[in-house]
Amino acid sequence: MKISRNTALLATAASIAVLTFLFWPAMDQGQSRFFADQTYHFQTLRALNVIPSGGADTQEVLETIKHIRAGDPQSWFEAWEATGDRVYALANNTNDRLSRGRAYFRAHSYYRTGEFLLLPDDPQRPAAWEKNVTAFYKGLDTLGITYKRIEVPYGEHHLNAVYYPGPAGAETKPLIVFVGGFDSTLEELYFALGAAALERGYSVLTYEGPGQGSVLREQDLPFTHEWEKPNGAVLDTFLQSHVKPTKIVLVGMSMGGYLAPRAAAFDERIDGVVAFDVFYDLNGAPQVPNTALWLRDHGFGFLVNAIIGIRKYLSPGFAWVVDNAMWTTGTKAPLDAFDTFKPYTLENVASQIRSDVLILAGQDDHFVPIEQVEQFEKALTHARSTTSVIYDRESGGAEHCQLGASTLWHATFFDWMIEKFPAAS
């Protein structure tokens, strides 16, 4: 059979195409996300974020998340708990002191991460919490890190603080006071900033207030928008037994971007305040639209609750925000929790801040609109100075609190410390 020239050419072209498909290397391009779901991706970044300070290791995190299904908090908990148990056992069976202490630190972080997405009343929470706290202090003790746990009287309750005295010469530098936010724990503050500050010769005072850490879990004390009260109680107690530092710089992480500036507006002892990241107005956070509140206030609460239930089912991140909001505010209904946050705005108090102010922000922050940087700047009419830094995606710091890029914001912060407090730094 005679084959036409055109047919032969087509057959040849097809053969080349097939061979190219079979043997040409497939495109293998890296990805910037661990999960499509933002909450699971973000919390994985949070676990990786403490690697520079010894709170995690890369492959331990990657091996953990391969067992997790986004939207399934039980698989999240079980995977991190298993990694925590394995690393804790590794610590117990390690003779080298540094390796043992660092393994306790990593186990702590994995236990904390595992507990994070469980429902507030999940019966697995108390044991997981005890594990993470125990591992943390074992890490400190094993590594010989000097610290002092402080119980702060607070009405019928008490707050908790940990003081990390810096090396010789730290007394000439500002005291860094560090507080977390909507979901922070006292112990994780060491990894977020404490370790980096100690390396640079600063003393650090970390604390947890109402609505946070063990104060919430063990005393059921919910958040307060009047953060000058817990912050003032911590400073009062600390200064009763310690020499007043040359300067005091208060840093607030995440929702602490509201809490710390709020405290600074009412306390002249604070010489510098850092919003890490900006959180000028919690009501501007994109969680519950004003239309939902309007519907509730006009007799359509049942409809709003149904919509919230559907959205919780479809969005793991929204479900976590709602559940955590009710837990930390001591409320029983989602909209009641968001009502509680209405006073959480710096609009009427920012003008009272007279210290140096550093505002940090991530360009793609999924919690706080970037417009709040400018709003906060304009409201700081009496601040001694205002410095704002917005990190873009290319820098690695575009996420909320620059997660995954801790060394990036540390460089900004410590340079700012040297610039604003040169005689002491």
Catalytic residue IDs: 254
**Nearest alpha carbon to residue 192 among 177, 178, 212, 208:** 178
Instruction: Report the DSSP pairing between strands 204-208 and 157-164.
Output: antiparallel
DSSP 246: S
Helices (H), 26-181: 38-48, 58-65, 73-92, 97-116, 125-143
Structure tokens at 9: 């050419």
DSSP 168: T
CB-based contacts of 411: which residues, under 8 Å, 6+ apart? none
Contact between 166 and 198 (Cβ < 8 Å):
yes
Contact between 225 and 343 (Cβ < 8 Å):
yes
Structure tokens at 131: 């594990």
Rounded to a whole number of angstroms, the CA Rg of the chain reads: 25
Instruction: Report the DSSP pairing between strands 175-179 and 248-253.
Output: parallel
Rounding to the nearest 10 degrees, give the CA dihedral for residues 119, 121, 122, 123: 170
